[in-house]
Amino acid sequence: MEKRELICIGCPLGCPITVTLDGGTVTAVEGNTCKRGDDYARREVTNPTRIVTSTVTVEGGCDRTVSVKTRTDVPKSMIFDCMRALRGVKVKAPVHIGDVIVPDAAGTGVDIVATSEVEQQGAGIV
C-alpha cells in the first residue's frame, strides 16, 4: 500500500488529496470535494495530463499573436512536444475562437485551437 499526497489543480480551491495505491491500482481517493478532484487524482498517479496553452504569430491581424490551447488535456510528458509543434506556426487573420491551429499536435490526437479572436488589420473595431 502506497499513499500519495496531491494538491488538486482542477480548480483554484486546490484541495489536498490523498491517493492510496496498491501495486499501481488506485484503491482510495480522499480529500477531494468534487468529482473533478477524484478524476484528477486517479489520472495524476497513473497518467498525468495537462492542458497546454501558448500563442502563435498572426499575419495581417489587429494583434501580433493569437492565444491557443490543446483542446483537451495531453499527457504531461508531451507538453514540450506540443510546444515544438507550435514553433514557427503562423496563421492569417481573421482567427476565431475554436479555429484549429495545429491538428493532432505531436501525435497526441489532440488539436491545438485558437482561444481568442483576431480581426484583420484595418477591420473596423465595432
Partner 1 sequence: MKAYDIVIVGGGPAGLAAAVAARKSGTDSILILERERELGGILNQCIHSGFGLHTFNEELTGPEYAARFVAEVKRLGIEYRLNTMVVDISRDKVVTSVNREDGMFSVRAGAVILAMGCRERSRGALNIPGYRPAGIYSAGTAQRLVNREGYLPGRRVVILGSGDIGLIMARRMTLEGARVLLVAELQPYSGGLKRNIVQCLDDYGIPLKLSHTVVDIQGKERLTGVTVARVDASGKPIPGTEEQYDCDTLLLSVGLIPENELSRGAGVEISPVTSGPVVNESLETNIEGIFACGNVLHVHDLVDYVSEEASAAGRSAAEYVRGLSADGAGTVIRMNPADGVRYTVPFLIRPERMDEKMTVRFRVGSVCRDCYVSVYFDGERVLHRRRPVVAPGEMEQIVLEKEKILAHPGLEVITVKIEEA
Residues that bind partner 1 (CB under 8 A): 6-12, 14, 16, 36, 50-55, 57, 63-65, 67-69, 76, 79-80, 83, 97, 115-117, 125
State the nearest-atom distance from the C-beta of 108 to partner 1, in Å: 16
User: Of 28 and 97, which CB lies nearer to partner 1 in the complex structure?
Assistant: 97
Residue 69: exposure state from Cβ atoms within 10 A (0-12, 13-18, ≥19): middle
Here the cell at position 29 is 481517493
C-alpha cell at 20: 492510496
Least Å distance, CB 67 to partner 1, is: 4
Q: For residue 36, what is the enclosing H or E element?
A: helix 35-46
* Nearest distance from C-beta of residue 37 to partner 1, angstroms: 11
Contact (Cβ atoms closer than 8 angstroms) between residue 96 and residue 68: no
Nearest residue (CB) to partner 1, 3 versus 22? 3
The distance of closest approach from Cβ of residue 20 to partner 1 in the complex, given in angstroms and rounded to an integer, is 19
In this complex, which beta carbon is closest to partner 1, that of residue 26 or of residue 81?
81
Please enumerate in sequence order all residues whose Cβ is within 8 A of that of 99, keeping only pairs 6 or more positions apart, or say none.
Answer: 91, 113, 114
Residue with cell 484541495: 15
Q: Which one, 21 or 79, has the nearer CB to partner 1?
A: 79
